[in-house]
Structure 1
């Protein structure tokens, strides 16, 4: 393997491992840190690298899990995300979220929303919504990792589905907006609004702590 190919593989490993915890600006900053200080170092230097990322709430307390993933992918590099070079080099810092808002927590909130939406819709009608949303997904301006997780969730069935990926408020707002557009096309705006209202009522009973965040996107 050439030096360039090896470097590309290492970059994909780091990008794939961190994408489960970070996205957007924090993910690109982490990749910058790795390339500037650790890309040429032995694999054991990943321990120090992950230690530097402890300031991110999504990684704090999960250092061992992140290191385990990095080492596992280094030994068996399967299921890697595409080389992030283009995304990385075109990265421009964006405004930080307002104090008290932690984007890395929104994946759990959104997971509850997806589950609630499925629970309040008849099974066959939810299948129609899933297919309609999947057709829109490729054209949506979302980060590749989020797109992949959404495609996996909407393209599968069963109660064991999980949605775990770092995502920020603007991305969640775009996804919810497209789900609403699909609902409007399927039902009309009145029934679409009623469906979202029923979704919120389900969340108020089952996961009341996430209702305030969900209302920001409806």
Structure 2
């Protein structure tokens, strides 16, 4: 990859973890100190990008996200912020342009609420089923998020796909927990997502 594509990959990988100012600093740091170093230097770079204490526990996810972004097709990368010339306004505009729509945000709230109420083994089973169910052309970003490698989705997805994934998650819960327990988990998740997404213009029940 040339330096422009790699810079876009750094921006894309770190976008879910950093605010605009931090992201600008991270891109500038990468270009100044790491752009011409071998790929294994990314580990050191990510360590220096943990600008806040809470980011340290996400260091592994951040590294995987950047490494994965380096392998994405050009069309899936965020626009280039420019050679040390990006600013918080332009980064913010990019974030707005790639912000997922309300149905995708509600989907993320609902699925996260379902998973958080499950034990680790059942959660892993459901994530694995959803990843297997995804088609190859349905987006590396969604695949990484379902695998637990990102904190948020960065683009929108069709309502049909989102409903299908929720249905697959429910079927997997029924198989693992039984229908009664699965219905209880789903009902609780719906209440939680409905409360968390109260300001969204999309109803959680439209995903079911």
TM-score by length of 1: 0.50
1:131 paired residue number: 124
CA 1:69–1:116: 2 relative to 1, 3 Å: same
Matched, 1:149 2:145: yes
CA 1:217–1:169: 2 relative to 1, 3 Å: farther
Q: Secondary structure at 1:72's aligned position in 2? A: helix
Is this contact kept in 1: 2:173–2:182, CA < 8 A?
yes
CA 1:139–1:197: 2 relative to 1, 3 Å: closer
Provide the rounded CA distance (Å) in 2 between the counterparts of 1:10 and 1:20.
Answer: 16
Matched, 1:14 2:11: no
1:73 paired residue number: 30
Is this contact kept in 2: 1:12–1:83, CA < 8 A?
no
Which of structures 1 and 2 has the bigger CA Rg? Answer: 1
| Within-5 A mapping of 1:1-218 | 5=1, 7=2, 9-18=3-12, 67-75=24-32, 76=34, 78=42, 79-80=66-67, 81-85=69-73, 88=75, 103-104=100-101, 108-118=105-115, 121=117, 125-136=118-129, 137-141=131-135, 142-152=138-148, 163-170=151-158, 171-205=161-195, 207-210=197-200, 212-218=202-208
TM-score by length of 2: 0.52
Provide the rounded CA distance (Å) in 1 between the counterparts of 2:203 and 2:27.
Answer: 32
Q: Deviations over 1:12-51 (max 9, x none)?
A: 33034136669xxxxxxxxxxxxxxxxxxxxxxxxxxxxx
CA 1:88–1:149: 2 relative to 1, 3 Å: same
Q: CA deviation at 1:181?
A: 2.3
CA 1:14–1:134: 2 relative to 1, 3 Å: same
RMSD: 3.7
Q: CA deviation at 1:216?
A: 2.3
How many matched pairs? 148
Structure 2: gaps of 5 or more residues: 36-41, 43-65, 77-98
Structure 1: gaps of 5 or more residues: 23-61, 90-101, 154-161
